[in-house]
Amino acid sequence: MKVAVLGAGAIGAYAGAALHRAGVDVRLIARGPHLAALRRDGVRVLSPRGDFAARTPATDDPAEVGPVDYVFLGLKANSYAACGPLLEPLLRPGTAVVAAQNGIPWWYFHRHGGPHDGRRLESVDPGGAVSAVIAPERVIGCVVYAATELEAPGVVRHLEGTRFSVGEPDRSVSARCTAFGDAMVAGGLKCPVEPDLRDDIWVKLLGNATFNPISALTRATMRQMCVHGGTRRVVETMMTETLSIAEALGCTVDVTVERRLAGAERVGDHRTSTLQDLERGKPLELDVLLTALTELADLTGVEAPTLRTVHALSDLLALRSAA
């Protein structure tokens, strides 16, 4: 098995290092000081489960890697439409793209069944730009429950969680999903193949659609948002509205709001990826989190006033931070 990690940041490098431990031929694609550190020292993972290192080839030129069996896509979702020149050299007939993204994916209604089958969501696939670069037929969905930070170039701080759930858009348990999951497990991670990954997408989105934008607006950590009474009530309301949208689309979210809040509080003083992006002057990944939710609320007729309010505020923040 040959795997290219396109976007070997904190999550990508962590997954790549684990696959390397499993004996997989892994190539990391990164840039800047991080790439220099990867070339010099490999990936160093600092984790409460035990530190480890992986010396695997790294480059900024996918043409040096060539076609692979799997591309683990560690890029932010707002980079997908422009990643064609990086992705193309890695593809051959049969190459699977493991899209490890937050939020609602561009392939959400691909082979979904029912009245919305094949529908394109403008918020996450504007004008079909993402589908043109990454054909939904190539996709293995991936929901990441691990929390990591890039502590320094080449150094990944693993905070908690080892689960990377994967699944096919058509709900089949395919050989390619099973093989990838087995390799991740051999590297020390959890990687269940889910018959319907969309349920997992909504479980993760309960947190991402609430804590991520609020953290950017307030600069607060996970724990701080959970213990502040007023903010906690806003999060509870947003989660309830999110569950209503999921249920209207036929998804079963097997977690309560209170349990989701308790899990978030246990993470402690972790800064969400959106807050980290804001602090580093990077574009904010909000379209797949909140814009998509408001589009789905319109589609299903679900009232979502608090989601819409926080979306308006965070959208203005994203515009101002990009200016």
The DSSP H or E segment spanning 84 is helix 84-87
The CA distance from 288 to 143, in Å, is 13
The CA distance from 82 to 100, in Å, is 17
The CA distance from 311 to 123, in Å, is 13
Ramachandran sector of residue 206 (left: φ over 0; alpha: ψ -120 to 50; beta: rest): alpha
Per the structure block, which two tokens stand in for 242? 């999110």
The CA distance from 313 to 112, in Å, is 32
Catalytic site residue from 2, 190, 204, 282 = 204
Active site residue 204: yes
The CA distance from 152 to 288, in Å, is 27
What angle is formed at CA 157 by the lines to CA 152 and CA 160, rounded to 5 degrees? 160
Catalytic residue annotation = 204
